[in-house]
Amino acid sequence: MRLDQLEAFLAIIETGSFQAAAQRCGVTQSTISRQIQTLEAELQAVLLHRQVQAKVTVAGAALLPRARRICQDWQLATSEIRDLMAGKQPEICLAAIHSVAAYLLPPVLQAFYQDHPEVQLRVTSLGSDRALKVLRDGLVDMAIVMDNPRLTTSPEMVVQPLYEEPVQILMAAHHPLTQFTQVPWGALAAYPQVVFKDGYGMQRLVQDQFERHGGTLQVALELNTLDAFRGVVRQGDWLALLPQSALQEMGADPALAVRSSADPVLTRRVVLVTTRDRLTIAPLLHLSQLVHQQIDHRYPAPSTPAP
């Protein structure tokens, strides 16, 4: 059963004759007749009484409402896809890690709204692994996350590097390790750590760093919000290894201290991930461009000295 057969069937009913249906469909009468004959053969039922004015049989009457629904759904689908490819996107769903959602995205979202006020933006803060999963499942259109090649190897995935930043150490202002400007990894291993929950890229990054340098990560608590890290760490000797961008406001808190680690300095790489087909949609492409513009503004490339 093909769509053109159903369209021919409906045209005959609505015009009352094979000849008028052919004119409406822009084909010859013999083509209309052949389409109906093929449809009747597939269904093994006569659909139309061939009289001066064509009328449906009992089988044709049973097919009629379904044929109308199928053709209407097809017209609606083609219209929606045409609008989508023309940039008429009703909404965009974006998943981002917490520090990006808090500090990087606000000016991007403002600029996007000014350019596309008709598009509804939905932003969800998620851990990197969870964000990539919902992107693969088609629940969001774009993710800004810590790089994880293990989850972005599919050929349809597009991974655009954004920036790298150091991971620093958050501690209470009275913590013994405040004596260091750059804290040795061996000293870090002596204190309990507050880490992001499983599914967050930071937990995996910190765990791998300790394993590479022969230390044992003592996990005292798992959290998933930056405010919770701030509240817990200021109470005692627990430490938290967090990306530099997440510590922008915490360094001004007199109850907290921020230190760098000794070499090797741990860094995290942040990327924008989407799929190739989504980048053909104008609003999504524009959103990705705005993100890159904001990155270029916040992390300008170092100038090259004149020769």
pLDDT tens by residue, 62-91: 888 888 888 888 887 776 677 666 656 678
The pLDDT assigned to 306 comes to 46
* Alpha-carbon gap, residue 144 to 69, rounded angstroms: 40
The pLDDT assigned to 84 comes to 63
> Averaged over 300-306, what is the pLDDT?
52
DSSP letter for each residue of 155-194: TTEEEEEEEEEEEEEEEETT-GGGG-SEE-HHHHTTS-EE
> Averaged over 214-224, what is the pLDDT?
84
Would you tell me how many other CB atoms lie within 10 Å of the CB of residue 216? 9
* Percent of the chain's residues with pLDDT above 90: 33
The pLDDT assigned to 142 comes to 95
Q: Which CATH class is domain 91-162+269-298?
A: alpha beta
End-to-end alpha carbon distance in the chain: 72
The pLDDT assigned to 75 comes to 80
The pLDDT assigned to 304 comes to 45
Task: Enumerate residues 6+ apart whose C-beta is below 8 A from 277.
Answer: 156
H-helix or E-strand spanning residue 207: helix 201-212
CATH level 2 (architecture), domain 165-268: 3-Layer(aba) Sandwich (3.40)
The pLDDT assigned to 180 comes to 93
The pLDDT assigned to 161 comes to 95
Q: Give domain limits for the chain.
A: 3-85, 91-162+269-298, 165-268
Whether 91-162+269-298 and 165-268 share one fold: the answer is: yes
> 131, 137, 249: which is closest to 201 by C-alpha?
131
Q: What is the CATH number of domain 3-85?
A: 1.10.10.10
The pLDDT assigned to 162 comes to 94
